[in-house]
Amino acid sequence: MKLLLIDHEDSFTYNLAHLLSSFGKLEVKNYYDVKESTVKKSDIIIFSPGPGKPLDYPISLEIYEKFKTKKKIIGICLGFQLIANGEGGIISKQEKIFHGYQTYIRTNNKSLRFPNNHMYQVGRYHSLKLKEPFDSSTMHITMRCEETNVAMCLESHTNDICGLQFHPDSFLTPNGKQFISKIIQFKK
């Protein structure tokens, strides 16, 4: 299996790369020099975390739009927000900023990849959040922050797409690999 990790020059990308590398042949490319031919050859596209907002990365948004029905897509943090943006969601500032926080999140019954009503402890690095109401016929919010109720996971019911607002790659997320493993093993 070929995995392509699109790096938005984050300082957490390679933590994610180490998690991903046990699932197949991983290639890491900077967002500004990804070639479409590389994307086409990959089985899974992963959008990395990164600074700023989705609109700062038009090339990544374009790749998402082109391949969202064709490939398995995973987004982490900014990657989650890129997916949300690609599905018509708005990314906005939040009251409390979560940089380096460990918090609890809970799954709901819309999740296809994770057990219902399950609590996880996760590490978080984000200033921005998905603004709600978020209306999408195909994409569902399947995890939320216990404290603020902010969206923590987006799952598609029609395509093979899943985004996580938190960091499975952080040392603040115990057993972070299980999240990646469940997403990768999921079959539509």
Partner 1 sequence: MNNSAILKTLLASDKDIIIYRNSEKNNFELYTDFIEKINLNINNLDKFLNKLDKFKAKKKYDCYIGFFGYELLCKNLNLIVNKDKHAFPEGVFFRPQTKIVIDSKIDIFTKSKLDLIKSLKTLKNSKNISKNKIKVSPSVENYEKIFNKFKKNIKAGETYQIKIAQKYSNKKDLDIAKLFFQLMKKNLSPESFCIRTKEFNVISCSPENLFKVKGNKIVTSPIAGTVSRKKIKSTKQARQFFENNQKEDKEHNMIVDLERNDLSRITKPSSVKIQKLKFVQKYQYIYHNVSDISGTLHEKVKLSQIVKAMMPGGSVIGCPKINTLKLLNKEEKEPRRIYTGSFGYFRSIKDMSFNIIIRSILNFNNNNEVFVASGVILDSTAKNEYHENFLKAKSLLDLLK
Residues that bind partner 1 in the complex, under the rule CB under 8 A? 9-15, 17-18, 21-22, 50-53, 78, 93, 97, 99-102, 123, 125-128, 167, 169-172
Name the residue type at position 38: T
Query: Shortest Cβ distance from residue 4 to partner 1 (Å)?
Result: 17
Q: Choose, from 77, 145, 153, 162, the residue flagged as catalytic.
A: 77
CA distance 1 to 187: 14
Q: Which is nearer to partner 1, 156 or 173 (CB)?
A: 173
Query: Shortest Cβ distance from residue 63 to partner 1 (Å)?
Result: 20
Question: CA angle, 45 as apex, 39 and 49 as ends, to 5°?
Answer: 120
How many CB atoms within 10 Å of residue 172?
17
On whether the CB atoms of residues 75 and 81 are closer than 8 A, the answer is yes
Query: Shortest Cβ distance from residue 188 to partner 1 (Å)?
Result: 28
Query: Shortest Cβ distance from residue 51 to partner 1 (Å)?
Result: 4
Question: CA angle, 177 as apex, 74 and 73 as ends, to 5°?
Answer: 10
Q: Which is nearer to partner 1, 68 or 167 (CB)?
A: 167
77 is annotated as an active-site residue:
yes
Question: What ranges make up the beta strands (E) of the chain?
Answer: 2-7, 25-30, 44-47, 72-76, 91-107, 119-130, 139-145, 151-156, 161-164
Q: Which is nearer to partner 1, 54 or 86 (CB)?
A: 54
Q: Which is nearer to partner 1, 111 or 165 (CB)?
A: 165
Catalytic residues: 77
